[in-house]
Amino acid sequence: MLDSELPRRLSGMDAFFLYAEREDQPLHVGATCIFDGRIPFLRFMRNLENRLHLIPRYRQRIVPSPLGIGHPTWEDDPGFDIKNHVFRVKVKAPGGEKELRQLSGKIFTGTLDRSKPLWEIYVVEGCEGGRGALIFKVHHCMVDGVAGIGLAFVLFDMVPDPPKSRKKPFRPEPLPEPQELLVDALWDSAIESVNHWTRFQRSVTDFGSSLNGTDLGTALRSFAASVGKLLLPLNRLPFNKPLSGRRLVCWREYSFTDTRAIRAVAGGTFNDVILTCVSGAIRRYMLDKTPNGRRIPRNIRILCPVNVRQEHERGALGNRISFLPVEVPLNIADPMERLHAIALKTSELKEAKVSGSVSLMFEALQGIPAQLQAAVLAAVANPTVQSILPTAMPPGNLICTNVPGPQIPLYVQGKRLLSTFPKVPVVMEMGVNFAIATYDQKLCINCCADGIVGNDVDKIMEYLDEGFRELMRAAEVKQADYVRIRGAADISPV
Protein backbone atom coordinates (compact mmCIF):
# COMPACT_ATOMS: atom_id res chain seq x y z
CA MET A 1 0.00 0.00 0.00
CA LEU A 2 1.42 3.35 -1.03
CA ASP A 3 1.53 6.33 1.33
CA SER A 4 -0.64 8.32 -1.06
CA GLU A 5 -3.43 5.75 -0.62
CA LEU A 6 -3.54 6.16 3.17
CA PRO A 7 -6.06 8.71 4.46
CA ARG A 8 -4.40 11.06 6.91
CA ARG A 9 -7.44 11.70 9.12
CA LEU A 10 -9.26 8.91 10.93
CA SER A 11 -12.73 8.09 9.68
CA GLY A 12 -15.66 8.39 12.07
CA MET A 13 -15.74 4.63 12.63
CA ASP A 14 -11.99 4.40 13.18
CA ALA A 15 -12.14 7.28 15.66
CA PHE A 16 -15.04 5.62 17.49
CA PHE A 17 -12.68 2.87 18.65
CA LEU A 18 -10.40 5.52 20.17
CA TYR A 19 -13.17 7.49 21.86
CA ALA A 20 -14.87 4.40 23.33
CA GLU A 21 -11.70 2.85 24.78
CA ARG A 22 -11.03 2.74 28.51
CA GLU A 23 -8.86 0.62 30.80
CA ASP A 24 -11.52 -2.01 31.43
CA GLN A 25 -12.41 -2.01 27.73
CA PRO A 26 -9.19 -2.05 25.64
CA LEU A 27 -10.06 -1.88 21.97
CA HIS A 28 -7.32 -3.79 20.22
CA VAL A 29 -7.56 -6.86 18.04
CA GLY A 30 -4.87 -9.48 17.73
CA ALA A 31 -3.97 -13.13 17.43
CA THR A 32 -1.90 -15.89 18.96
CA CYS A 33 -0.02 -17.71 16.19
CA ILE A 34 1.66 -21.08 16.78
CA PHE A 35 4.53 -22.43 14.64
CA ASP A 36 6.28 -25.75 14.17
CA GLY A 37 9.58 -24.31 15.43
CA ARG A 38 11.14 -21.52 17.44
CA ILE A 39 11.08 -18.06 15.80
CA PRO A 40 14.58 -16.49 15.95
CA PHE A 41 13.95 -13.12 17.58
CA LEU A 42 16.62 -10.91 15.99
CA ARG A 43 16.13 -12.30 12.48
CA PHE A 44 12.37 -11.86 12.78
CA MET A 45 12.70 -8.27 13.98
CA ARG A 46 15.19 -7.33 11.23
CA ASN A 47 13.06 -8.96 8.55
CA LEU A 48 9.94 -7.17 9.76
CA GLU A 49 11.79 -3.85 9.84
CA ASN A 50 12.83 -4.41 6.22
CA ARG A 51 9.16 -4.76 5.23
CA LEU A 52 7.65 -1.90 7.20
CA HIS A 53 7.73 0.38 4.14
CA LEU A 54 4.95 -1.87 2.76
CA ILE A 55 2.70 -0.93 5.69
CA PRO A 56 3.56 2.73 6.41
CA ARG A 57 0.67 3.12 8.84
CA TYR A 58 2.69 1.02 11.29
CA ARG A 59 5.24 3.86 11.60
CA GLN A 60 2.59 6.49 12.27
CA ARG A 61 1.02 7.56 15.53
CA ILE A 62 -2.19 9.27 16.56
CA VAL A 63 -2.13 13.08 16.88
CA PRO A 64 -5.30 14.67 18.37
CA SER A 65 -6.80 17.69 16.62
CA PRO A 66 -6.53 21.03 18.45
CA LEU A 67 -9.61 21.65 20.62
CA GLY A 68 -11.00 18.35 19.34
CA ILE A 69 -12.44 20.10 16.29
CA GLY A 70 -11.89 17.12 14.01
CA HIS A 71 -10.98 13.48 14.34
CA PRO A 72 -7.29 12.76 15.08
CA THR A 73 -4.78 12.38 12.28
CA TRP A 74 -2.07 9.83 11.51
CA GLU A 75 1.39 11.42 11.50
CA ASP A 76 4.83 9.87 11.01
CA ASP A 77 6.47 9.04 14.33
CA PRO A 78 9.80 10.93 14.30
CA GLY A 79 11.16 8.72 17.09
CA PHE A 80 10.02 5.41 15.62
CA ASP A 81 12.06 2.46 16.87
CA ILE A 82 11.00 -1.10 16.11
CA LYS A 83 12.41 -2.17 19.48
CA ASN A 84 9.46 -0.36 21.07
CA HIS A 85 7.08 -2.70 19.25
CA VAL A 86 8.70 -6.15 19.00
CA PHE A 87 9.39 -7.91 22.29
CA ARG A 88 11.01 -11.18 23.30
CA VAL A 89 9.27 -13.16 26.04
CA LYS A 90 9.77 -16.55 27.57
CA VAL A 91 7.38 -18.89 29.33
CA LYS A 92 8.02 -21.17 32.26
CA ALA A 93 8.23 -24.93 31.84
CA PRO A 94 6.46 -26.96 30.66
CA GLY A 95 5.25 -24.30 28.22
CA GLY A 96 1.98 -26.04 27.39
CA GLU A 97 -1.37 -24.85 26.05
CA LYS A 98 -2.60 -23.60 29.42
CA GLU A 99 0.50 -21.48 29.95
CA LEU A 100 0.38 -19.99 26.45
CA ARG A 101 -3.23 -19.03 26.99
CA GLN A 102 -2.32 -17.36 30.28
CA LEU A 103 0.46 -15.46 28.56
CA SER A 104 -1.87 -14.33 25.77
CA GLY A 105 -4.43 -13.13 28.29
CA LYS A 106 -1.81 -11.06 30.11
CA ILE A 107 -0.58 -9.47 26.89
CA PHE A 108 -4.12 -8.68 25.75
CA THR A 109 -4.92 -7.04 29.10
CA GLY A 110 -4.46 -3.27 29.13
CA THR A 111 -4.40 -0.57 26.48
CA LEU A 112 -1.71 0.32 23.97
CA ASP A 113 0.52 3.36 24.49
CA ARG A 114 -0.87 6.15 22.30
CA SER A 115 2.41 8.06 22.26
CA LYS A 116 3.72 5.59 19.66
CA PRO A 117 2.26 3.58 16.74
CA LEU A 118 -0.53 1.38 18.05
CA TRP A 119 0.80 -2.15 17.62
CA GLU A 120 2.98 -4.73 19.35
CA ILE A 121 4.32 -8.19 18.52
CA TYR A 122 5.63 -10.63 21.12
CA VAL A 123 8.03 -13.40 20.05
CA VAL A 124 7.38 -16.28 22.46
CA GLU A 125 10.11 -18.76 23.42
CA GLY A 126 10.04 -21.82 25.65
CA CYS A 127 7.03 -23.50 24.05
CA GLU A 128 6.51 -27.21 24.57
CA GLY A 129 7.75 -29.55 21.86
CA GLY A 130 10.21 -27.05 20.37
CA ARG A 131 7.41 -24.92 18.93
CA GLY A 132 7.33 -21.15 18.69
CA ALA A 133 4.61 -18.52 18.91
CA LEU A 134 3.90 -14.91 17.99
CA ILE A 135 1.29 -12.78 19.75
CA PHE A 136 0.00 -9.76 17.81
CA LYS A 137 -1.75 -6.75 19.31
CA VAL A 138 -3.08 -3.98 17.01
CA HIS A 139 -5.52 -1.20 17.86
CA HIS A 140 -8.94 -1.57 16.28
CA CYS A 141 -8.75 1.97 14.89
CA MET A 142 -6.08 0.68 12.47
CA VAL A 143 -7.69 -2.51 11.21
CA ASP A 144 -10.77 -4.68 11.34
CA GLY A 145 -10.67 -8.45 10.89
CA VAL A 146 -10.60 -8.37 7.09
CA ALA A 147 -7.82 -5.76 6.94
CA GLY A 148 -5.91 -7.76 9.54
CA ILE A 149 -5.97 -10.86 7.36
CA GLY A 150 -4.69 -8.74 4.46
CA LEU A 151 -1.72 -7.67 6.57
CA ALA A 152 -0.84 -11.32 7.10
CA PHE A 153 0.31 -11.47 3.50
CA VAL A 154 2.86 -8.73 4.27
CA LEU A 155 4.06 -10.16 7.57
CA PHE A 156 4.01 -13.83 6.57
CA ASP A 157 5.55 -15.75 3.66
CA MET A 158 3.89 -18.23 1.33
CA VAL A 159 7.10 -20.24 0.94
CA PRO A 160 9.62 -21.37 3.60
CA ASP A 161 12.58 -19.60 1.98
CA PRO A 162 11.42 -16.29 0.40
CA PRO A 163 13.73 -13.74 -1.24
CA LYS A 164 15.37 -11.44 1.27
CA SER A 165 13.82 -8.03 1.79
CA ARG A 166 15.91 -4.90 1.61
CA LYS A 167 15.44 -2.18 4.19
CA LYS A 168 14.39 1.19 2.83
CA PRO A 169 15.32 4.35 4.71
CA PHE A 170 12.55 5.89 6.77
CA ARG A 171 12.40 9.67 6.46
CA PRO A 172 9.46 10.77 8.59
CA GLU A 173 7.57 13.88 7.63
CA PRO A 174 7.96 16.54 10.34
CA LEU A 175 5.03 16.84 12.72
CA PRO A 176 2.75 19.74 11.74
CA GLU A 177 2.73 22.85 13.89
CA PRO A 178 -0.34 23.34 16.15
CA GLN A 179 -1.68 26.17 13.99
CA GLU A 180 -1.37 23.99 10.90
CA LEU A 181 -3.24 21.18 12.64
CA LEU A 182 -5.97 23.65 13.65
CA VAL A 183 -6.42 25.02 10.12
CA ASP A 184 -6.41 21.51 8.65
CA ALA A 185 -9.00 20.35 11.19
CA LEU A 186 -11.32 23.28 10.44
CA TRP A 187 -11.01 22.78 6.71
CA ASP A 188 -11.36 18.98 6.85
CA SER A 189 -14.38 19.24 9.16
CA ALA A 190 -16.16 21.60 6.81
CA ILE A 191 -15.42 19.46 3.76
CA GLU A 192 -16.19 16.20 5.57
CA SER A 193 -19.54 17.52 6.81
CA VAL A 194 -20.69 18.14 3.24
CA ASN A 195 -19.17 14.88 1.96
CA HIS A 196 -20.65 12.86 4.80
CA TRP A 197 -24.25 13.85 4.22
CA THR A 198 -23.80 13.46 0.48
CA ARG A 199 -22.52 9.92 1.09
CA PHE A 200 -25.31 9.26 3.56
CA GLN A 201 -28.00 10.33 1.08
CA ARG A 202 -26.41 8.14 -1.57
CA SER A 203 -26.19 5.24 0.87
CA VAL A 204 -29.89 5.59 1.74
CA THR A 205 -30.79 5.63 -1.95
CA ASP A 206 -28.57 2.62 -2.67
CA PHE A 207 -30.05 0.84 0.34
CA GLY A 208 -33.55 1.46 -1.00
CA SER A 209 -32.53 0.18 -4.42
CA SER A 210 -31.10 -2.97 -2.87
CA LEU A 211 -34.53 -3.76 -1.40
CA ASN A 212 -35.77 -4.93 -4.80
CA GLY A 213 -36.66 -1.47 -6.01
CA THR A 214 -38.32 -0.38 -2.77
CA ASP A 215 -39.00 3.35 -2.54
CA LEU A 216 -37.00 5.61 -0.26
CA GLY A 217 -39.72 5.89 2.40
CA THR A 218 -39.97 2.13 2.79
CA ALA A 219 -36.17 1.89 2.93
CA LEU A 220 -36.10 4.41 5.78
CA ARG A 221 -38.84 2.51 7.66
CA SER A 222 -36.82 -0.70 7.27
CA PHE A 223 -33.78 1.18 8.57
CA ALA A 224 -35.70 2.45 11.62
CA ALA A 225 -37.10 -1.02 12.38
CA SER A 226 -33.66 -2.62 12.20
CA VAL A 227 -32.11 -0.03 14.49
CA GLY A 228 -35.04 -0.42 16.89
CA LYS A 229 -34.29 -4.13 17.27
CA LEU A 230 -30.83 -3.28 18.59
CA LEU A 231 -32.42 -1.08 21.28
CA LEU A 232 -34.87 -3.71 22.53
CA PRO A 233 -34.13 -5.21 25.96
CA LEU A 234 -32.41 -8.59 25.99
CA ASN A 235 -31.99 -11.34 28.53
CA ARG A 236 -28.74 -10.79 30.39
CA LEU A 237 -26.54 -13.85 30.71
CA PRO A 238 -24.15 -14.39 33.66
CA PHE A 239 -21.33 -12.75 31.69
CA ASN A 240 -23.35 -9.65 30.66
CA LYS A 241 -22.12 -7.40 33.45
CA PRO A 242 -19.56 -4.60 34.03
CA LEU A 243 -16.09 -5.62 32.90
CA SER A 244 -12.91 -5.97 34.96
CA GLY A 245 -10.39 -5.26 32.20
CA ARG A 246 -8.51 -8.54 32.72
CA ARG A 247 -8.53 -10.71 29.60
CA LEU A 248 -8.76 -14.49 29.25
CA VAL A 249 -8.56 -16.63 26.13
CA CYS A 250 -9.34 -20.27 25.47
CA TRP A 251 -9.13 -21.87 22.03
CA ARG A 252 -10.00 -24.94 20.05
CA GLU A 253 -9.07 -26.22 16.61
CA TYR A 254 -11.41 -28.29 14.45
CA SER A 255 -11.33 -29.68 10.94
CA PHE A 256 -12.59 -27.22 8.31
CA THR A 257 -13.50 -30.26 6.20
CA ASP A 258 -15.84 -31.54 8.91
CA THR A 259 -17.52 -28.15 9.17
CA ARG A 260 -18.11 -28.01 5.42
CA ALA A 261 -19.45 -31.58 5.52
CA ILE A 262 -22.01 -30.59 8.16
CA ARG A 263 -23.08 -27.68 6.00
CA ALA A 264 -23.38 -29.92 2.92
CA VAL A 265 -25.63 -32.36 4.81
CA ALA A 266 -27.68 -29.96 6.91
CA GLY A 267 -27.84 -26.86 4.70
CA GLY A 268 -27.39 -23.27 5.77
CA THR A 269 -24.15 -21.34 5.59
CA PHE A 270 -20.77 -21.86 7.20
CA ASN A 271 -21.62 -19.11 9.69
CA ASP A 272 -24.93 -20.84 10.53
CA VAL A 273 -22.98 -23.97 11.50
CA ILE A 274 -20.69 -21.89 13.74
CA LEU A 275 -23.65 -20.14 15.41
CA THR A 276 -25.27 -23.53 16.04
CA CYS A 277 -22.15 -24.80 17.84
CA VAL A 278 -21.76 -21.57 19.83
CA SER A 279 -25.44 -21.49 20.83
CA GLY A 280 -25.16 -25.15 21.86
CA ALA A 281 -22.25 -24.26 24.15
CA ILE A 282 -24.14 -21.31 25.67
CA ARG A 283 -27.25 -23.49 26.10
CA ARG A 284 -25.25 -26.06 28.10
CA TYR A 285 -23.58 -23.27 30.07
CA MET A 286 -26.94 -21.76 30.99
CA LEU A 287 -28.41 -25.13 32.00
CA ASP A 288 -25.40 -25.55 34.28
CA LYS A 289 -25.93 -22.05 35.71
CA THR A 290 -29.69 -22.41 36.25
CA PRO A 291 -30.24 -25.38 38.62
CA ASN A 292 -33.54 -26.58 40.10
CA GLY A 293 -35.26 -26.61 36.73
CA ARG A 294 -35.34 -22.84 36.25
CA ARG A 295 -36.01 -21.86 32.67
CA ILE A 296 -33.20 -20.57 30.50
CA PRO A 297 -33.80 -17.72 28.03
CA ARG A 298 -35.62 -18.70 24.83
CA ASN A 299 -33.25 -16.62 22.72
CA ILE A 300 -29.99 -14.74 22.90
CA ARG A 301 -28.77 -11.99 20.61
CA ILE A 302 -25.46 -12.65 18.86
CA LEU A 303 -23.82 -9.78 16.97
CA CYS A 304 -22.10 -11.01 13.80
CA PRO A 305 -19.73 -8.47 12.19
CA VAL A 306 -20.22 -8.11 8.43
CA ASN A 307 -17.62 -6.80 5.98
CA VAL A 308 -19.16 -3.94 3.95
CA ARG A 309 -16.11 -3.07 1.88
CA GLN A 310 -16.79 -2.21 -1.73
CA GLU A 311 -14.65 -3.71 -4.48
CA HIS A 312 -12.51 -0.57 -4.73
CA GLU A 313 -11.81 -0.73 -0.97
CA ARG A 314 -10.27 -4.20 -0.98
CA GLY A 315 -6.93 -4.20 0.84
CA ALA A 316 -7.64 -0.88 2.56
CA LEU A 317 -6.80 -0.42 6.22
CA GLY A 318 -9.28 0.93 8.75
CA ASN A 319 -12.77 -0.29 9.57
CA ARG A 320 -15.56 -1.05 7.11
CA ILE A 321 -17.89 -3.24 9.14
CA SER A 322 -21.54 -3.56 10.07
CA PHE A 323 -23.34 -6.02 12.33
CA LEU A 324 -26.04 -8.63 11.85
CA PRO A 325 -27.99 -8.97 15.15
CA VAL A 326 -29.12 -12.61 15.15
CA GLU A 327 -31.73 -13.80 17.66
CA VAL A 328 -30.48 -17.34 18.26
CA PRO A 329 -32.75 -19.90 19.98
CA LEU A 330 -31.60 -21.59 23.18
CA ASN A 331 -34.83 -23.48 23.80
CA ILE A 332 -34.18 -25.94 20.93
CA ALA A 333 -32.21 -28.93 22.17
CA ASP A 334 -31.90 -30.79 18.86
CA PRO A 335 -28.80 -29.40 17.04
CA MET A 336 -30.16 -29.98 13.52
CA GLU A 337 -33.45 -28.31 14.36
CA ARG A 338 -31.56 -25.40 15.92
CA LEU A 339 -29.32 -25.13 12.83
CA HIS A 340 -32.37 -24.94 10.56
CA ALA A 341 -33.95 -22.26 12.79
CA ILE A 342 -30.74 -20.21 12.74
CA ALA A 343 -30.38 -20.59 8.97
CA LEU A 344 -33.94 -19.35 8.49
CA LYS A 345 -33.35 -16.37 10.78
CA THR A 346 -30.08 -15.29 9.14
CA SER A 347 -31.62 -15.70 5.70
CA GLU A 348 -34.51 -13.41 6.69
CA LEU A 349 -32.10 -10.84 8.10
CA LYS A 350 -30.05 -10.87 4.91
CA GLU A 351 -33.12 -10.53 2.70
CA ALA A 352 -34.24 -7.57 4.81
CA LYS A 353 -30.78 -6.01 4.39
CA VAL A 354 -30.46 -5.58 8.16
CA SER A 355 -26.66 -5.25 8.04
CA GLY A 356 -27.21 -2.43 5.55
CA SER A 357 -29.56 -0.77 8.03
CA VAL A 358 -26.99 -1.00 10.82
CA SER A 359 -24.34 0.35 8.45
CA LEU A 360 -26.62 3.31 7.73
CA MET A 361 -26.95 3.91 11.47
CA PHE A 362 -23.17 4.05 11.80
CA GLU A 363 -23.03 6.38 8.79
CA ALA A 364 -25.58 8.71 10.39
CA LEU A 365 -23.75 8.80 13.73
CA GLN A 366 -20.52 9.70 11.96
CA GLY A 367 -22.15 12.98 10.95
CA ILE A 368 -22.11 14.13 14.58
CA PRO A 369 -19.26 16.63 15.22
CA ALA A 370 -16.07 15.00 16.48
CA GLN A 371 -16.09 17.02 19.72
CA LEU A 372 -19.57 15.77 20.58
CA GLN A 373 -18.75 12.15 19.69
CA ALA A 374 -15.69 12.18 21.93
CA ALA A 375 -17.50 13.94 24.79
CA VAL A 376 -20.51 11.61 24.77
CA LEU A 377 -18.42 8.42 24.62
CA ALA A 378 -16.09 9.70 27.34
CA ALA A 379 -19.08 10.56 29.54
CA VAL A 380 -20.68 7.15 29.05
CA ALA A 381 -17.36 5.53 29.96
CA ASN A 382 -17.27 7.51 33.22
CA PRO A 383 -18.20 5.27 36.20
CA THR A 384 -20.18 8.12 37.80
CA VAL A 385 -22.36 8.48 34.71
CA GLN A 386 -22.73 4.71 34.44
CA SER A 387 -24.11 4.56 37.98
CA ILE A 388 -26.86 7.00 36.89
CA LEU A 389 -27.75 4.76 33.93
CA PRO A 390 -28.51 1.41 35.58
CA THR A 391 -30.93 0.41 32.83
CA ALA A 392 -28.35 0.68 30.05
CA MET A 393 -28.22 -2.56 28.12
CA PRO A 394 -25.51 -4.12 25.97
CA PRO A 395 -26.49 -4.29 22.27
CA GLY A 396 -26.11 -8.08 22.33
CA ASN A 397 -25.24 -10.99 24.58
CA LEU A 398 -22.03 -11.74 22.72
CA ILE A 399 -20.09 -11.16 19.50
CA CYS A 400 -19.22 -13.97 17.10
CA THR A 401 -16.92 -12.91 14.28
CA ASN A 402 -15.77 -15.13 11.44
CA VAL A 403 -12.81 -14.08 9.30
CA PRO A 404 -11.87 -16.29 6.32
CA GLY A 405 -8.12 -16.78 6.07
CA PRO A 406 -5.81 -18.35 3.49
CA GLN A 407 -6.24 -22.08 2.90
CA ILE A 408 -2.54 -22.54 2.12
CA PRO A 409 0.27 -22.80 4.71
CA LEU A 410 2.12 -19.62 5.70
CA TYR A 411 5.64 -19.26 7.11
CA VAL A 412 7.73 -16.94 9.27
CA GLN A 413 11.51 -17.35 9.18
CA GLY A 414 11.01 -20.75 7.54
CA LYS A 415 8.74 -21.98 10.36
CA ARG A 416 5.31 -23.16 9.31
CA LEU A 417 2.29 -21.52 10.86
CA LEU A 418 0.25 -24.31 12.45
CA SER A 419 -2.68 -22.39 13.90
CA THR A 420 -3.83 -18.81 14.38
CA PHE A 421 -6.32 -17.87 17.09
CA PRO A 422 -7.77 -14.37 16.58
CA LYS A 423 -8.64 -12.02 19.42
CA VAL A 424 -11.69 -9.73 19.34
CA PRO A 425 -12.31 -6.90 21.85
CA VAL A 426 -14.47 -7.63 24.89
CA VAL A 427 -16.72 -4.59 25.21
CA MET A 428 -20.03 -3.10 26.38
CA GLU A 429 -20.77 -5.70 29.07
CA MET A 430 -20.45 -8.56 26.57
CA GLY A 431 -18.01 -10.51 28.74
CA VAL A 432 -17.62 -13.51 26.40
CA ASN A 433 -17.04 -13.29 22.64
CA PHE A 434 -15.94 -15.72 19.94
CA ALA A 435 -13.44 -15.09 17.14
CA ILE A 436 -13.05 -17.65 14.36
CA ALA A 437 -10.40 -17.87 11.66
CA THR A 438 -10.20 -20.44 8.89
CA TYR A 439 -6.64 -21.30 7.91
CA ASP A 440 -5.01 -24.17 6.00
CA GLN A 441 -8.09 -26.42 6.18
CA LYS A 442 -8.51 -25.76 9.92
CA LEU A 443 -11.13 -23.98 11.95
CA CYS A 444 -9.46 -21.98 14.73
CA ILE A 445 -11.90 -20.77 17.39
CA ASN A 446 -10.89 -18.45 20.22
CA CYS A 447 -13.15 -17.58 23.15
CA CYS A 448 -12.13 -14.09 24.29
CA ALA A 449 -13.44 -13.25 27.74
CA ASP A 450 -13.22 -10.80 30.61
CA GLY A 451 -11.85 -11.86 33.99
CA ILE A 452 -15.37 -11.72 35.49
CA VAL A 453 -16.06 -15.20 34.05
CA GLY A 454 -12.94 -16.78 35.55
CA ASN A 455 -12.81 -20.51 34.95
CA ASP A 456 -16.16 -20.38 33.13
CA VAL A 457 -14.31 -19.77 29.88
CA ASP A 458 -12.76 -23.26 30.04
CA LYS A 459 -16.15 -24.80 30.76
CA ILE A 460 -17.75 -22.92 27.84
CA MET A 461 -15.13 -24.32 25.47
CA GLU A 462 -15.69 -27.84 26.81
CA TYR A 463 -19.36 -27.33 25.99
CA LEU A 464 -18.33 -26.14 22.53
CA ASP A 465 -16.48 -29.43 22.02
CA GLU A 466 -19.64 -31.32 23.00
CA GLY A 467 -21.79 -29.18 20.71
CA PHE A 468 -19.49 -29.70 17.72
CA ARG A 469 -19.41 -33.47 18.21
CA GLU A 470 -23.16 -33.56 18.74
CA LEU A 471 -23.80 -31.67 15.51
CA MET A 472 -21.46 -34.00 13.63
CA ARG A 473 -23.32 -37.03 14.95
CA ALA A 474 -26.67 -35.51 14.05
CA ALA A 475 -25.42 -34.78 10.53
CA GLU A 476 -23.84 -38.27 10.41
CA VAL A 477 -20.44 -36.83 9.54
CA LYS A 478 -17.43 -38.98 10.45
CA GLN A 479 -15.35 -37.14 12.99
CA ALA A 480 -11.80 -36.28 11.95
CA ASP A 481 -9.05 -36.03 14.47
CA TYR A 482 -8.22 -32.50 15.52
CA VAL A 483 -5.15 -31.38 17.36
CA ARG A 484 -5.20 -29.28 20.50
CA ILE A 485 -2.22 -27.04 20.27
CA ARG A 486 0.28 -27.02 23.09
CA GLY A 487 1.70 -23.72 24.11
CA ALA A 488 3.63 -21.81 26.78
CA ALA A 489 3.41 -19.98 30.65
CA ASP A 490 4.04 -16.85 32.67
CA ILE A 491 5.41 -13.81 30.91
CA SER A 492 9.02 -13.03 31.70
CA PRO A 493 11.61 -11.22 29.61
CA VAL A 494 14.48 -13.25 28.19
Q: Do domains 3-181 and 192-480 have the same CATH topology?
A: yes
Torsion angle, CA of 379/27/461/101, rounded to 10 degrees? -130
Q: Which alpha helices (H) appear in 93-159, and where do they start and end? A: 97-108, 145-155
Give the N- to C-terminal CA distance of the chain in Å, as an integer. 34
Of 155-159, 272-276, 283-287, 479-483, the one with minimum mean pLDDT is 479-483
Q: Is the pLDDT of residue 328 over 90?
A: yes
pLDDT digits (tens, 9 = 90+) for 392-433: 578 899 999 988 888 999 999 999 999 999 999 999 899 999
How far is 120 from 86, CA to CA, in rounded Å? 6
Q: Nearest 5°: phi and psi at 71? A: -65, 155
**pLDDT confidence of residue 15:** 84
Q: Give the pLDDT band of residue 156 (cuts 50, 70, 90).
A: very high
pLDDT digits (tens, 9 = 90+) for 110-154: 999 999 999 999 999 999 999 999 999 999 988 754 445 556 767
CATH architecture for residues 192-480:
2-Layer Sandwich (3.30)
Mean pLDDT of 293-316: 70
**pLDDT confidence of residue 13:** 78
Three-state secondary structure call for residue 112: coil
Task: Please give the CATH topology (third level) of the domain spanning 3-181.
Answer: Chloramphenicol Acetyltransferase (3.30.559)
**pLDDT confidence of residue 240:** 94
Residues 353, 222 contacting (CB under 8 angstroms):
yes
Residues 200, 367 contacting (CB under 8 angstroms):
yes
Torsion sign over Cα 256, 257, 260, 265: negative
Q: Where are the domains of the chain?
A: 3-181, 192-480
pLDDT digits (tens, 9 = 90+) for 353-395: 655 555 555 555 555 555 565 565 555 555 444 444 544 578 8
Better pLDDT: 207 or 447: 447
Q: Give the pLDDT band of residue 475 (cuts 50, 70, 90).
A: confident
Mean pLDDT of 58-64: 92
Mean pLDDT of 461-469: 95
**pLDDT confidence of residue 349:** 75
Mean pLDDT of 16-44: 93
pLDDT digits (tens, 9 = 90+) for 202-218: 555 555 555 555 555 55
pTM listed for this prediction: 0.84
Among candidate residues 133, 139, 22, 27, the one with its CA nearest the CA of residue 85: 139
**pLDDT confidence of residue 335:** 94
Q: Is the pLDDT of residue 275 over 90?
A: yes
**pLDDT confidence of residue 220:** 55
